[in-house]
Chain A
Amino acid sequence: MLAEALFFSAVLFAIGVVGVLTRRNAIIVFMCVELMLNAVNLTFVAFAQAYGVAGQVFVFFVMTVAAAEAAVGLAIIIALFRHRQTIDLEHINILKG
């Protein structure tokens, strides 16, 4: 049971990583980050099944942070769009020396 759960969460995490690396739309990248977070959450839950409830506490914690992050992240993306009329990450590169 544990092995399957871990395998599943690994696949989910990899999909998230590939999405972050390859996609250029900021919202999709953002969603892929969420996917990675939830893949980790699944891992925590799976381990909690075997070793006790401490892992479940972490899941709640991650979900809280992810919610806050989603709020801030989406706000930034909206602000970006208003400012530059695009959310294509290729064109958002002013953070450089």
Chain B
Amino acid sequence: MLLLAQAAAAADSLATHPLQGTVARWLWAVPMLPLLGFVLNGALSLFSAYHVGPADPSAAGHDHADHVAHVDHADHAAAGHDDDHHPVVRHRFAALSSIIGPGVLLLAFALVAAIWAAMRSAGGGAIEAPYVQRYFSWIAAGDLHIDAAFQLDQLSMLMMLVITGVGTLIHVFSVGYMRDDPGYPRYFAYLNLFVFFMLLLVLGASYPLLFIGWEGVGVCSYLLIGFWFSDKANADAGKKAFIANRVGDAGFLIAMFLLFSNLHTLSFTGVHAAAGGLGFDSALVTTICLFLFVGCAGKSAQIPLYVWLPDAMAGPTPVSALIHAATMVTAGVYLVARSSFLFSMAPVAQIVVVMIGALTAIFAASIGLKQWDIKKVLAYSTISQLGYMFVGVGSGAYVAGVFHLVTHAFFKALLFLGSGSVIFAMHAAYHHTGSHEDAQDMRNMGGLRRMLPVTWILMWIATLAISGVPPFAGFFSKDEILGSVFARAQHSTIADASLLGISGSAWLYAAYVLGVAAAFMTAVYMTRLMLYTFHGPNRTGEREREHLHEAPWIMTGPLVVLGLLSVVGGWLNLPSFASMLGSVGGLERWLDPVVGAATAQTVAGAAETSPGLEYGLVGFAVLIALAGILFAVARLKPERLPTKAQAGPERGFARVLEHKYYVDEIYDDAVVQPIVKTSRGLLWRGVDVGLIDGAMVRGSAWLTRFVGWIGSEFQSGQLGTYAWVLVAGVLVVLGAFTIR
């Protein structure tokens, strides 16, 4: 660390950048803090969970109900019907982890905020060049020179604020949510490590360094999905996520190879400077962008690689909030925004990105309509919203896409943490009575607004935000994406390109229609979630009902902050028609040095959309959102919903939706089973047992023995034979000499 500080200081003295000599020189410390947290928590997690002496005084009796829970738990264990997937044993160092885990994040956030302030006073969105801090030469092989260097610009600044800000809130929430888990320090170790890699991802000054972070967050995602690995389903979900991501990463790697073989550099500044040589709309730049997007589709759960994200809900709920909603899954959006100068040169690739995004948005939203697991609804909602972001960044509206990334981080983290609060309450209630009911199934909830009033109000805020109801955050960002797509369908480089013989303009209009339809569904499934969870009669069970209660303040506190952000997040980038609310387009000005030129290239000098059209589009979007909410309220009757145990099977298309279009089954038949069968029949029995074991291992042994047997046959012990051979040999030698 000292080394990094010295290198940073050296780099600082060389560079002439507005940020030079400011607090930005501490940039290296931002990812190092969570790494330190990982090391400390990881060390604590090596100790066994169990108390050696009397119970830790800080761990016991912080809540009367909690105390009762422990007594009850002991009873159940004695009665032998406690098959909970994690026994309630508080780790003896839980108190220490509760300080280290969120503490390092809070420090990192404070540092990021200080750097942000320095950046603002140094010019903010007017700083043209990124601030690059070079530490040491990481890889030097022939032409390939990769420095370990961090790059601070407006985009990475924004991402850092989201990661450390939302990350801190989720860490604090986790203190309440995970406190009673025996793997508590391990949980924080993984979570800290995740934040470290995520910061590495957004700070890396070159594609390979970004890739290290990209892979690192994948590992942490795997570790946290399978956090309760003793249950095989959880471990399998982790593997599924890891493998689906590897498919995407292969695409990312190929894109990097292509970039290097053509541009001989991989740093962002280098690629940016040389990218012009690839040629606008050339086959090469299109290929590179498409391969980059394969990586994004894996990491950001787009068609056809989205299948891992719903399964990733097997992890603890705060993990779903941080990794699988707010930060990691948006890495693909970040990558496209980071490579905006490439994508704006490849309109055909942009059409693909937009269409995949739009199809994913509507596909996932329609599945979300019929899911019963509260987290599954949110998972499909996340996939759908990520689709929106790709519609944004794909159509060259990089600011809109990143804007939605930020607001989505606020309201989706809130939704996930809110659902975590609900699950926490449900779980505790079922724990009290020793019931085996599903604590995540909405059919077992209902009427929770009376027991969880704070969660109820905050989740309604998030629901309105995600549905696109003004003035909440999601309204502005979603509206900006849809508006940009509509405007670009009229005039842009994408509209002039064509794919499969259909003009880009038609593709973009189609994406707009899909986006609007998905917005309607979003409003419907979110209202459905709220109605079934918080309204109507309670279906939890007679005995459990009295045990349902709001989570402690350490959990509701972060929810309140996120609720506030979900309300005001839209102020980051107000559209011109909302000028009475504050300054217009703040985020657009802030990000202008990073994506401004690429956006201008795509827009190709088109005039602003007329105010009339803009008002029309906005009004339409709001109408759609309200229609979705009213439709759900009118059609869904939480009073008549059966509990999970009483529910019959769905019929017709609803059944298809409930089974997620049978995509998992199709993948299983089309991909997994053939691979398993080929592996068993050909690779295992044929290649491994037959060729490797049979022909090569046993075969070489047999050959050696055979040659040895031939040799041993000559040694008969008969002196006469030996003499004959000797004489024959002499004669041969003599003969050879004579003839020569």
Contacts and interface: CB of A to CB of B under 8 A. Distances in A.
Contacts of A24: 720
A4 interface: no
Contacts of A96: 715-717
B305 to A, nearest CB: 64
A94 B715 CA distance: 10
A89 B719 contact: yes
Contact of A90 (B712, B715, B720, B727): B720
Contacts of B2: none
A21 B721 CA distance: 8
Interface in A46-92: 89-90, 92
A55 B716 CA distance: 38
Contact of B712 (A17, A20, A95, A97): A97
A20 B717 contact: no
B645 interface: no
B737 interface: no
A93 B712 contact: no
Interface in B230-256: none
Contacts of A21: 720, 723-724, 727
A94 B724 contact: no
A89 to B, nearest CB: 5
- Interface residues on chain B, size class: 10 to 19
Interface in A17-39: 17, 20-21, 24, 29
B718 interface: yes
Contact of A97 (B715, B719, B723): B715
A87 B485 CA distance: 109
Overall SS of chain B's interface = helix
A20 B722 CA distance: 11
Interface in B705-740: 712, 715-720, 723-724, 727
Nearest to B716: A96
Contact of A93 (B716, B723, B724, B727): B716
A17 B727 contact: yes
A94 B719 CA distance: 10
Contact of B723 (A20, A92, A94, A95): A20
B717 A94 contact: yes
B723 to A, nearest CB: 5
Contacts of B715: 96-97
A90 B721 CA distance: 10
A95 B716 CA distance: 8
A94 B718 CA distance: 9
A93 B718 CA distance: 5
Contacts of A20: 723
A76 B131 CA distance: 95
Q: Identify the interface centre among A29, A92, A97: most chain B CB within 10 Å of its CB.
A: A97
A22 to B, nearest CB: 8
B707 to A, nearest CB: 14
A95 B721 CA distance: 13
A93 B719 CA distance: 8
A92 B715 CA distance: 13
A21 B724 CA distance: 6
Nearest to A33: B723
Contacts of B712: 97
Nearest to B721: A93
A69 to B, nearest CB: 16
Contacts of B727: 17, 21
B724 A92 contact: no
Nearest to A24: B720
A16 to B, nearest CB: 11
A21 B723 CA distance: 6
A72 B724 CA distance: 24
A92 B719 contact: yes
A93 B717 CA distance: 4
Contacts of B718: 89-90, 93
B720 A89 contact: yes
Interface string B386-403: 000000000000000000
Contacts of A95: 717
A31 to B, nearest CB: 15
Contacts of B723: 20-21
Interface in B682-718: 712, 715-718
A89 B712 CA distance: 20
Interface string B338-364: 000000000000000000000000000
A50 to B, nearest CB: 22
Nearest to A89: B719
Interface of A: 17, 20-21, 24, 29, 89-90, 92-97
5 contacts: A17-B727, A21-B723, A21-B724, A24-B720, A89-B720
Given A24-B720, A89-B720, 20 more contacts: A17-B727, A20-B723, A21-B723, A21-B727, A29-B719, A89-B718, A90-B720, A92-B717, A92-B719, A93-B716, A93-B717, A93-B718, A93-B719, A94-B717, A95-B717, A96-B715, A96-B716, A96-B717, A97-B712, A97-B715
Q: Which 7 A-B pairs have the closest CB atoms?
A: A93-B717, A96-B717, A96-B715, A97-B715, A89-B719, A95-B717, A97-B712
